[in-house]
Amino acid sequence: MLAARRALQATRGYATSAQVQIPLVLHGIDGRYATALYTAAAKKQALDTVESDLKQVKRVIEKDTRLREFLENPTINRIEKKSGVQKMIAAGKYNDLTKNFFDTLAENGRLNDTIKIIDSYGSLMGAYRGEVRVTITSAKELDAKDIAKVKGFLSKSAFVSSKQILIVSNKVNPSILGGMVVEFGDKTIDLSVSSKVNRLNQLLNG
């Protein structure tokens, strides 16, 4: 509860009274903080600006191993971390919402969750744009033609509305033997050979 209150307090200093519709319900600490930032950015009409800021911050952190270790190290006190993150933010041209938000993360001792929060904000923005992330797991890497076929099938199915945009990625897992497993949202379509073999084994051993 305390973490949730702190996440919500992150917006109080710069939020307005306008109502914001959250496009995706996220859970966990990272979800709460990302939602708080999304709410504040929406009220300031700065959703895209903040998203761009966060992508830049993530690139900086991923390129600098020492910086990431500094942010994720629980033994470093909050004052030192706040000073460090302020220097990082000062080195770039970031929106005031972004600057204030990272100050809040530092004060609440949540800088170790920075990457997770950025990814959660990205999920919110994807949902806001109507994006549906689809993961196709196959025994071997699929070519563009096969991926297009799956994408076309889903686009015409009842699973996806005409307003949604499919973002497809291919993951290779030799253990499924053949076929594929398609995951999107909370749905899974298992067309793998391993799944069929398991069902056959269950029938033979039942």
Average pLDDT over residues 148-155: 86
What is the pLDDT at residue 16?
41
What is the pLDDT at residue 94?
92
Q: From CA 23, how far away is CA 203, in angstroms rounded? A: 43
> In sequence order, which residues have a C-beta less than 8 Å from that of residue 142 and are 6 or more positions away?
136, 170, 180
pLDDT digits (tens, 9 = 90+) for 109-126: 999 999 999 999 999 998
Q: From CA 195, how far away is CA 139, in angstroms rounded? A: 13
3-state secondary structure (DSSP) of residue 159? coil
Residue 13, pLDDT above cutoff 50: no
Q: Mean pLDDT lowest for which of 3-7, 55-59, 167-171?
A: 3-7
Q: 160-167, long-range: CB within 8 Å, 24+ apart, which pairs?
A: 160/132, 160/184, 163/130, 164/130, 164/131, 164/132, 165/129, 165/130, 165/131, 165/132, 166/131, 166/132, 166/134, 167/126, 167/131, 167/132, 167/133, 167/134
- State the DSSP code for 131: E
pLDDT digits (tens, 9 = 90+) for 72-101: 888 888 889 889 888 888 888 899 999 999
- Tell me the pTM: 0.68
With contact defined as beta carbons under 8 Å apart, do 89 and 61 qualify?
no
Q: From CA 85, how far away is CA 79, in angstroms rounded? A: 10
Q: From CA 16, how far away is CA 157, in angstroms rounded? A: 40
What is the pLDDT at residue 9?
53
Q: Which domains does the chain have, with CATH numbers?
A: 2-127 (1.10.520.20), 130-205 (no CATH)
Q: Are strands 131-138 and 165-172 parallel, antiparallel or unpaired?
A: parallel
Average pLDDT over residues 12-27: 68
pLDDT digits (tens, 9 = 90+) for 42-58: 999 999 999 999 999 99
